[in-house]
């Protein structure tokens, strides 16, 4: 992907907090990333990985300590107002007014963006149809369900017709049905030409993105399509069952060539280096049954984090 075809570009983007009397903390560490126009990109990682800080720097809400960001053709540090005209940003806690109705919240944000007359009426009607929120226009925002609040926040964010949409954990705490509906809306927006960058801690949600970036401890550790990520590791993945999962896990994770052994529901998922060991060799450490499988995104993320920890320790 070339920079010219990318609507979001981060070059060595870094953010350090603290210093002086307190020890500096690097929240984002030399992040390099390109996102193409018209794709859904998911930035995935645990709490504290640096996802929100990255997004806030890309939106011009926070200055980087080093590096630069270019969004919609504009250097964010130099032309932040031009960038804000081209983007929509939905924070984890969007500023809805709970005592105003759905329609009143939309009218308030339309006023902020200077959207008036026929354009306001047509755009508001289209957004209400797309989100299936038409029957709830007169309901106070404070009485909406979590999923409906997110839909309302999304509509307010889209009123000025941005080219790029930044969503910071938009479905956190939302029920599964509402999460599915929210992603259906995102697909429609991308078909209409929007670019979406979303942060999430849900690995199943990341499966729905065009590309995924895994982030941990401020570093972007891998970027690819969901399918590409699952095929990226040289280690083999196995489903393991045994009479005593805890004892089996304790025994296996001490063996040479074993990268991770993680509980997954009623079974264990085992990553091992086939150049060093095999399930047959490991049977001497603990009795278990096994089957080779394609890893999930969660499996891959855990394995990559473990490899990062091993590399740092070395």
Looking up residue 241, the CATH number of its domain turns out to be 3.30.70.100
User: Which pLDDT score, from 0 to 100, does residue 92 have?
Assistant: 82
User: Which pLDDT score, from 0 to 100, does residue 2 have?
Assistant: 44
Residue 306 lies in a domain: no
CA distance to 101, 108, 146, 194, per residue, from 135 (Å): 12, 19, 16, 26
Total domains in the chain come to 2
Residues sharing a CB contact under 8 Å with residue 238, sequence separation 6 or more, in sequence order: 269, 270, 272, 279, 290, 291, 292, 293
Residue 240 lies in a domain: yes
CA-to-CA distance for 311 and 314, rounded, in angstroms?
5
48 and 139 both lie in a single domain: yes
Give strand ranges (E) for 78-163.
87-90
100 and 166 both lie in a single domain: yes
User: Which pLDDT score, from 0 to 100, does residue 38 have?
Assistant: 94
245 burial (CB, 10 Å; 0-12 / 13-18 / 19+) is middle
Give the helix/strand (H/E) hosting 217: none
Residue 309 lies in a domain: no
CB 172 within 8 A of CB 201: yes
User: Which pLDDT score, from 0 to 100, does residue 95 have?
Assistant: 80
CA distance to 13, 93, 114, 131, 179, per residue, from 47 (Å): 19, 16, 36, 29, 19
220 and 257 both lie in a single domain: no
Domain encompassing residue 289: 234-294
User: Which pLDDT score, from 0 to 100, does residue 1 have?
Assistant: 46
Q: Can you tell me whether residue 75 is helix, strand or coil? A: strand
238 and 223 both lie in a single domain: no
CB 54 within 8 A of CB 28: yes
Residues sharing a CB contact under 8 Å with residue 313, sequence separation 6 or more, in sequence order: none
203 and 96 both lie in a single domain: yes
- Which one of 214, 229, 244 terminates a domain? 229
Residue 269 lies in a domain: yes
What CATH number corresponds to the domain at position 188?
A: 3.40.50.300
CA-to-CA distance for 264 and 299, rounded, in angstroms?
9
What is the value of pTM for the model shown?
Answer: 0.90
173 and 250 both lie in a single domain: no
87 and 207 both lie in a single domain: yes
Q: Per residue of the chain (314 residues), what is the pLDDT tens digit?
A: 444 479 999 999 999 998 767 788 999 999 999 999 999 999 999 989 999 999 999 999 999 999 999 999 999 999 999 999 999 999 887 788 999 999 999 999 999 888 889 988 999 999 999 999 999 999 999 999 988 999 999 999 999 999 999 999 988 878 888 888 899 999 999 998 999 999 998 888 899 999 999 999 999 999 999 999 999 999 999 999 999 999 999 999 999 999 999 999 899 999 999 999 999 999 999 999 999 999 999 999 999 998 888 888 77
Residue 60 lies in a domain: yes
- Which one of 229, 244, 274 terminates a domain? 229
160 and 100 both lie in a single domain: yes
User: Which pLDDT score, from 0 to 100, does residue 201 have?
Assistant: 86
214 and 73 both lie in a single domain: yes
- Which one of 229, 247, 264 terminates a domain? 229
Residues sharing a CB contact under 8 Å with residue 270, sequence separation 6 or more, in sequence order: 237, 238, 239, 240, 252, 258, 260, 261, 279, 290
205 and 165 both lie in a single domain: yes
Residue 151 lies in a domain: yes
153 and 117 both lie in a single domain: yes
Residue 312 lies in a domain: no
- In sequence order, what are the beta bridge partners of 101? 140
Residue 308 lies in a domain: no
67 and 215 both lie in a single domain: yes
Q: Using DSSP bridges, classify how beta strands 236-241 and 289-292 pair: parallel, antiparallel or unpaired.
A: antiparallel
């Amino acid at each position: 992907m070339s920079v010219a075809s990318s609507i979001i570009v981060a070059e060595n983007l870094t953010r350090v907090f603290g210093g002086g009397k307190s020890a500096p903390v690097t929240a984002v560490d030399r992040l390099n990333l390109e996102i193409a126009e018209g794709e859904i990109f998911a930035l995935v990682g645990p709490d504290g990985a640096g996802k929100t800080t990255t997004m806030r720097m890309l939106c011009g809400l926070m200055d980087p300590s080093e590096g630069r960001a270019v969004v919609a053709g504009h250097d964010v540090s130099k032309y932040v107002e031009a960038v804000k005209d081209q983007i929509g940003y939905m924070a984890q806690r969007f500023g809805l007014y709970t005592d105003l109705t759905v329609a009143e919240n939309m009218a308030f944000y339309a006023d902020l963006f200077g959207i008036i007359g026929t354009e306001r009426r047509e755009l508001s009607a289209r957004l209400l149809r797309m989100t299936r929120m038409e029957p709830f226009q007169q309901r106070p925002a404070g009485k909406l369900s979590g999923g409906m609040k997110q839909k309302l926040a999304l509509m307010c964010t889209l009123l000025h017709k941005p080219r790029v949409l930044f969503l910071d954990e938009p479905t956190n705490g939302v029920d599964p049905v509402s999460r599915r509906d929210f992603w259906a809306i995102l697909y429609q927006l991308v078909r209409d030409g929007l670019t979406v960058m979303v942060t999430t801690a849900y690995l199943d949600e990341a499966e729905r993105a065009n590309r995924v970036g895994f982030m941990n401890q401020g570093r972007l550790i891998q970027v690819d399509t969901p399918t590409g990520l699952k095929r990226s590791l040289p280690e083999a993945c196995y489903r393991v069952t045994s009479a005593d999962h805890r004892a089996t896990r304790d025994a296996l994770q001490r063996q040479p060539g074993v990268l991770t052994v993680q509980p997954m529901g009623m079974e264990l998922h085992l990553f091992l280096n086939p150049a060093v060991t095999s399930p047959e060799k490991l049977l001497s450490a603990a009795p278990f049954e096994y089957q080779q499988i394609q890893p999930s995104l969660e499996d891959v993320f855990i394995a990559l984090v473990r490899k990062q920890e091993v590399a740092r320790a070395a």
